[in-house]
Structure 1
């Protein structure tokens, strides 16, 4: 599952950077895991160059390279099936029946049906205030605070990258890649401490049409009536993907973070700790991650709450 987690992070950051570039100044929110899962279904039927492009963009080629000889020896279609099956196992782990949450896949793949593009919605909100013990890192370059807010008995965690001091969100975005993300959020960097958290309530519901984004990453052939090779789905000619539509939704409120509030403030007062301040009054990046598998379920940027 480590290889899938790495592919998930790489693909997540690739898509984020493209969305952020194409929607400068706007809120950004999407689910890299649901996109991986949906596109892996197309990959099952892709062949030739179409399959090669998809594997590269989804970073599934690295899974093959890091796998043992038994996996590498499988045919391309069998490798895709194995990866898709492992993603299904991950979904089962993440969306267990005894969980206090439900992960819904909101994106679908359409053929030639036209869909309107919807911009992200923004609302005016008040700041929430909480105190408790949270995992937090202080990054020197760029100047940044990294905070993890746990949910549903630590099953999920919302990781926030907040620029501080003279740094701004652009500096964080420029240095953000899979390596720095792992470093910034590693157990050696994240230390549990008393923190006063000021966080805006916000609700995002954003829909994207992702054809041009995926093409810019290198997944071009599946959108071409002439070049697409989806012969694994149908022997007929001219089968191609017309549109990829993706919709994600998130709402953050006191109710959603109530489980993260640490009890025992009386003890904290007795030993008079110095509490760290986490004031999210400027644009920040957020990642909702499944703690057990390290898969990023959602990724976004709050530019205007």
Structure 2
């Protein structure tokens, strides 16, 4: 639970900074990958450098052992425990029997050219699918929240799509951990017949994140004078020069298999009333591992 909370909080912090720094551009990154990489540095960080990292990574809410004589040991053990738990989390996500294809579950068929959004009209290939999906209708800001499951319902993509008079800026302004949990809560996400129109897209984005992490408060480890990484090496002057992060996603209808299709045969005596989910304008998306409640990837599709 503590890792899940840290994962969501850190994810949204980084997303808001990236979205602000790259206004109008696509955004895509893996918060879990970043947490894991930075936790390795945290193992060797001490003093203010460690305190800043714990705060930015949202690890600081884990209680330390009391008593000054155990202070340094507790900090070291806590960082080690966090790293160990992250390792266990990765083991759960990357099980040998898993068959993840991070693309839309169920068979998607048919394409349709559609202008992505007004003002910046781009013709893209749209995928079309009808089926039973979890869908929430949020009133403020006005949007639809759709959950598309992957293999065996282990993973899924959650899409936040503004509708009506709302735009993506309004969604981003109100996006925080509490709002995200509420928007995607079981009380809001109701399974129903949905007609889904989703663009094919491929994102491969590389970031240099040192300045972003500094703006969040992780300044010490990037300073040759102030960095305390004595847990890695006693050599003075050791510091982090760059944090480079690269991630890739492709969403298409190839190589996907039905997770929601159970093989039941339905006999319909009338046409079902279907909700329309048409992602022909910018949206936010999150790829999540449901069992561990962990966000693996986070992105914004502003232009396919």
What TM-score do the two structures reach when normalised by structure 1?
0.88
Question: Which residue of structure 2 lines up, in the alignment, with residue 22 of structure 1?
Answer: 21
C-alpha root-mean-square deviation of aligned residues, in Å?
Answer: 2.1
What does 1:50-89 align with in structure 2 at a 5 Å threshold? Answer: 50-64=49-63, 75-89=74-88
Cross-structure match for 1:110: none
Instruction: Determine helix, strand or coil for the equivalent of 2:62.
Output: helix
Task: Give unpaired runs (5+ residues) of structure 2.
Answer: 103-121
The alpha-carbon distance between structure 1 residues 46 and 164, as it changes in their structure 2 partners (threshold 3 A), is: same
Contact 1:142 1:167 in 2 (8 A): yes
Conserved? CA contact 2:151–2:257, under 8 Å: no
How many corresponding residue pairs? 282
Structure 2 counterparts to residues 105-184 of structure 1, below 5 A: 125-184=124-183
Whether the 8 Å CA contact 2:32–2:297 is kept in 1: the answer is yes
C-alpha separation in 2, matches of 1:273 and 1:285: 28
Pair 1:284 & 2:283 matched: yes
* 2:229 is aligned with 1:230: yes
Q: Could you tell which deviates more after superposition, 72-81 or 228-237?
A: 72-81
Provide the rounded CA distance (Å) in 1 between the counterparts of 2:269 and 2:62.
51
Change (3 A) 1:80 1:275: same
- After superposition, the Cα gap between the structure-2 partners of 1:268 and 1:63, relative to the gap in structure 1 and judged at 3 Å, is farther
Mapped partners of 1:193, 1:237: distance in 2: 60
1:210-249 equivalences in 2 (<5 Å): 210-249=209-248
Contact 1:150–1:257 (8 Å) recurs in 2: no
Post-superposition offset of 1:271 = 4.3
Distance 1:259 1:204 in 2: 24
Give the Cα separation in 1 of the matches to 2:197 and 2:204.
22
Mapped contact 1:206–1:249 kept (Cα < 8 A): yes
Higher helix content, 1 or 2: 1
Determine if contact 2:42/2:53 at 8 Å carries over to the other structure: yes
Q: What secondary structure does 1:51 align onto?
A: helix
Structure 1 residue aligned with 2:95: 96
Identify unmatched segments of 5+ residues in structure 1: 104-122
Specify the alignment match of 2:43 in structure 1: 44
Q: Distance in 2 between matches of 1:288 and 1:38?
A: 19
Cα deviation for residue 101 of structure 1 reads 2.4
Contact 1:128 / 1:200 at 8 angstroms: preserved in 2?
A: yes
* Gap change, CA 1:166 and 1:268, over 3 Å in 2: farther
8 Å CA contact 1:150, 1:158 repeated in 2? yes
Per-residue Cα deviation, 1:38-65 (whole angstroms, up to 9, x for no partner):
0000000000000000000000002337
SS at match of 2:226: coil
Give the drift of 1:270.
2.5
- In structure 2, the residue matched to 1:272 is 271
Which residue of 1 is the match for residue 111 of structure 2?
A: none
Q: For 1:38 and 1:268, how far apart are their aligned partners in 2?
A: 51
